[in-house]
Amino acid sequence: MYEKINERIPNFDLHPVFVVEGTQSWKGYQQISRVIDSEIQKYDSKCVLVIDSYYHINHKEIRQFLIDNIHPQLVICTDDLKASDTVLHDRLDKFITEDRINGVFAVGKIDEYFDKQKLKTAQEVINSTQGLIVIYGIGATLVTKGNILVYNNITIQRIKDGYFSTLTNWGMNNPDEDPLTKEKIFNFVESKYFDSHKRHIFDDMDFVIDGDNKDNPVMTTGDDFRKALNYFASHPFKLEPFFNRGVWGGHWCKDVLNGGLDKENTAWGMTGWMNFQNTLAKLGENEFRIIGRDIVQYKAVEFLGNQNFFWFGYNCPVGCDFLDTWGGGNLSLQVHPDIGYAQEVFNFPFGHYESYYFLDTSEKSSVYLGTKDGVKKEELVKAFKEAQKTGEFDDEQWINRFPMKKHDHIYIPSGTIHASGKDTLVLEINPIGFQTFKLWDWGRIDADGKPRPINIDHGEKVIQEKYQTKFVKEHLISKKAEVDRGTGWRKEHSGTMEYELLKVDRYWFNKPVFFETKDHVKLHVLVEGEEAIIVSPNNEFEPIEIHYAEAVFIPASVGQYVIKPKDKSDEELAVLECYMDMGNAYQ
């Protein structure tokens, strides 16, 4: 596609919005205050308003422009109910650890953050007070669910962006902490507690606030919020993409997609991760962010399907993103842990394996994958460690490097050393995974003036010596085998290995192709051609366009659907079908 850059107008949807009919919303503190005050007036001598929050980004504004406007007799902030710093560290440090970027996934509930006596005292004060009482902050419903429950929702990316300024982790006075360490605390501790807490109060929410814009929030009713969650669990949709810079980042996403124009580069383009992104719903007259995790947590079976929920719980087992090195540099040589190591060391229930789909390539495109035949792990680890002292590593001696062409696809099992080369656009297609252990980063310094974290101590424990040249060529590089065809279409298996559970197939087509979810959530990416359209054969959902490089989720509950060219030209298009299939023992 890059060679056509001067012949086309980018049509990648940077702001996909989905209308949820029969809903309403209010924008700005003035409107929100008026609606909440109207609810308060339904109560006579006493009303308890609870504003529970996912995060504390906008608490100052909520206090000043919402709570103070309704003139309560008593205000309680959950910040004042937390356990002491000493107790918090006693409870949480075993999960946070001293590592800059890796912790241990926390076990427990949000009440780990609170002092039980302070909670009890707050409840006693509420019981003995008349008039309007407001309890607000993270975990506010631990005190009481009150008469009116408002939930203040914040997106994952908004939180992580805040760490690069002065946003602290909750309960920790760390405004100047390394942003990567703040993000680690959120990933390993806070989000585990806060997501679980939210999941148990979805049906109790009377109102929900989209609080990302702390100066101009949007509020909807709890019923309409749940209606939106139901919509996205039963209709095809796109997530709102975002782009982040990186030390190796390129400019393909800017040039071809018109994305990330405000960034120094577009190393990462997040397009298909339910765990990190959000959708955009039109509720009434306003756009409202619906967090991807909330869809999965509220309607897990409808979105994921029964088998996926059985195996993966409240996790979407398939996702994708861009790795953009066009005009940039190589990724670090890295490795991911297997399930045994992930469970034992990080309390993470899944291993980390992934695949690289080469969406666009240049003459220089390549991938580093596995070690050379005969390489011994002990000698290789020694060379990685020595490179940290000398600043030099002879990758040609140790690591395979293969040239890559457009639509090539490689599989990367846990324990395989790998990296994408420069001047390439990789569509990374992964199941659930988290840990990445960098082994060699070409001696680079990141934007914060520090070397990026190198994790040889972890990496040496998970490197698999068996993934060497012969094995890689035979098993890890896709043969693109054709497995089926029909009128105007043909199907290739784009995956590579006999024991991978993530299915990736590619359909080349210039006529309609029939699909069925078969009770599995599916992810489609258009990898060739400008645009296609996804329709329901029974008119059960509105048609949705899919443009070049876009990702569309098809919830398991959708059932049957058709993907077809949008116009009647004979141009051959290609779309990927990605899903997790654990198989059926009775077939």
| Block residue for tokens 């577009």 | 266
> Rounded distance, CA 387 to CA 379, Å?
12
What does the chain come to in residues? 587
For the beta carbon of residue 69, count every other beta carbon within 10 angstroms. Answer: 15
State the DSSP code for 81.
G
* CATH (residue range 18-238+275-291): 3.40.50
> Rounded distance, CA 81 to CA 142, Å?
10
> Rounded distance, CA 410 to CA 367, Å?
9
Residue 586 has pLDDT above 70, yes or no: no
> Rounded distance, CA 240 to CA 220, Å?
20
Query: Band of the pLDDT at 21, cuts 50, 70, 90?
Result: very high
State the DSSP code for 570.
-
Residue 500 has pLDDT above 80, yes or no: no
Instruction: Give the sheet arrangement for strand 531-535, strand by strand.
Output: 513-516, 560-565, 531-535, 544-547
- pLDDT: which is higher, 280 or 349: 280
Query: Band of the pLDDT at 420, cuts 50, 70, 90?
Result: very high
> Rounded distance, CA 124 to CA 117, Å?
11
Alpha helical stretches, state H, 313-425: 339-346, 377-390, 395-398
Residue 1 has pLDDT above 80, yes or no: no
Based on its alpha-carbon atoms, the radius of gyration of the chain, rounded to whole angstroms, reads: 25
**Would the CA dihedral through 78, 80, 83, 86 be positive or negative?**
positive
Query: Are the beta carbons of 476 and 370 closer than 8 angstroms?
Result: yes
Catalogue the E-assigned strands of 292-406.
Answer: 319-324, 333-335, 354-361, 366-371, 399-403
Query: Band of the pLDDT at 386, cuts 50, 70, 90?
Result: very high
Query: Are the beta carbons of 337 and 352 closer than 8 angstroms?
Result: yes
> Rounded distance, CA 458 to CA 463, Å?
9
> Rounded distance, CA 247 to CA 242, Å?
17
Q: Do the domains spanning 316-476 and 480-580 agree at the CATH topology level? A: yes
Parallel, antiparallel or unpaired: strands 148-153 and 46-53: parallel
pLDDT of residue 547: 98
Query: Band of the pLDDT at 434, cuts 50, 70, 90?
Result: confident
Residue 219 has pLDDT above 90, yes or no: yes
Residues 6+ apart with CB under 8 A from 236: 534, 541, 544, 552, 553, 554, 555, 558, 561
| Block residue for tokens 């896709």 | 478
- Tens digit of each residue's pLDDT (9 = 90 or more) over 99-125: 999 999 999 999 999 999 999 999 999
* CATH (residue range 316-476): 2.60.120.10
Residue 575 has pLDDT above 80, yes or no: yes
Residue 569 has pLDDT above 70, yes or no: yes
- Tens digit of each residue's pLDDT (9 = 90 or more) over 234-259: 999 999 999 999 999 999 999 999 99
Q: Where are the domains of the chain?
A: 18-238+275-291, 316-476, 480-580
> Rounded distance, CA 39 to CA 28, Å?
17
**Could you tell me which of 79, 214, 65 has the C-alpha nearest to residue 153?**
214
- Tens digit of each residue's pLDDT (9 = 90 or more) over 67-92: 999 999 999 999 999 999 899 999 99
Average pLDDT rounded to a whole number, residues 456-474? 96
Residues 6+ apart with CB under 8 A from 487: 511
> Rounded distance, CA 549 to CA 547, Å?
6
Weakest mean pLDDT among 315-324, 345-354, 415-424 = 345-354
Average pLDDT rounded to a whole number, residues 373-386? 97
Domain range 480-580, its CATH number among 1.20.1050.10, 2.60.120.10, 3.10.450.50, 3.40.50.300: 2.60.120.10
Weakest mean pLDDT among 259-263, 274-278, 366-370, 566-570 = 566-570
pLDDT of residue 14: 98
Q: Tokens at residue 50, please?
A: 């609870």
- Tens digit of each residue's pLDDT (9 = 90 or more) over 169-201: 998 989 999 999 999 999 999 999 999 999 999
The torsion angles phi and psi of 490, rounded to 5 degrees, stand at -145, 150
**Could you tell me which of 486, 473, 455 has the C-alpha nearest to residue 563?**
486
Residues 6+ apart with CB under 8 A from 124: none
Supply the mean pLDDT for the chain: 95
- Tens digit of each residue's pLDDT (9 = 90 or more) over 511-555: 999 999 999 999 999 999 999 999 999 999 999 999 999 999 999
State the DSSP code for 278.
E
| Block residue for tokens 């679980």 | 196
Query: Are the beta carbons of 350 and 318 closer than 8 angstroms?
Result: no
Counting residues of the chain whose pLDDT is more than 90, the rounded percentage is 90
pLDDT of residue 585: 60
pLDDT of residue 499: 66
What's the pTM? 0.96
